[in-house]
Amino acid sequence: MHYSEILGAVENRSLIWPPITQLQDLWNCHCLAFHDISPQAPTHFLVIPKKPIVRLSEAEDSDESLLGHLMIVGKKCAANLGLTNGYRMVVNEGPEGGQSVYHVHLHVLGGRQLGWPPG
């Protein structure tokens, strides 16, 4: 299942969260991880919460552990995919922050030297 399909199902509230095979079936009851449909690095995957959160700025205080959990899952995925020399984790917020899909998601990019500033 591609990211666009998942997002369409999230918007329609029709998604039954299946196991994800794109990252060695790495998923759990709180989030999903899968490769980005338009990668910006040799390794580029997303970690998304199952709970619908439109923007990071709309997250509640009660989402703190869930948002931290996304980073832990991202770290585990990065290790499983062999990103031993480092990687970048990014959350885009709003139009000026580069957010184009309005469901919070964590980008994890690696597999090459990443420059700074990013944009």
Instruction: At 59, list the tokens.
Output: 């997250």
Query: Would you call 91 exposed, middle or buried from its count of C-beta atoms within 10 A (0-12, 13-18, 19+)?
Result: middle
How far does Cα 81 stand from its chain's mean position?
15
Number of domains in the chain: 1
pTM: 0.79
Confidence class for position 37, pLDDT limits 50, 70, 90: confident
69 belongs to the catalytic site: no
Q: Domain range for residue 66?
A: 3-110
- Please give the Cα distance from 64 to 69 (Å, whole number): 9
Confidence class for position 118, pLDDT limits 50, 70, 90: confident
Q: End-to-end alpha-carbon separation of the chain, Å?
A: 29
Is 119 inside a domain boundary? no
Is 57 inside a domain boundary? yes
At 70-101, the pLDDT tens digits run 999 999 889 988 999 999 999 999 999 999 88
Looking up tokens 């989402």 gives 63
Is 67 inside a domain boundary? yes
Is 56 inside a domain boundary? yes
Residue closest to 28 by CA, chosen among 66, 1, 55: 66
- Please give the Cα distance from 54 to 46 (Å, whole number): 15
CATH label of the domain that carries residue 95: 3.30.428.10
Q: Residue 50: what pLDDT?
A: 86
Please pick, among 2, 30, 44, 105, the residue that the annotation labels catalytic: 105
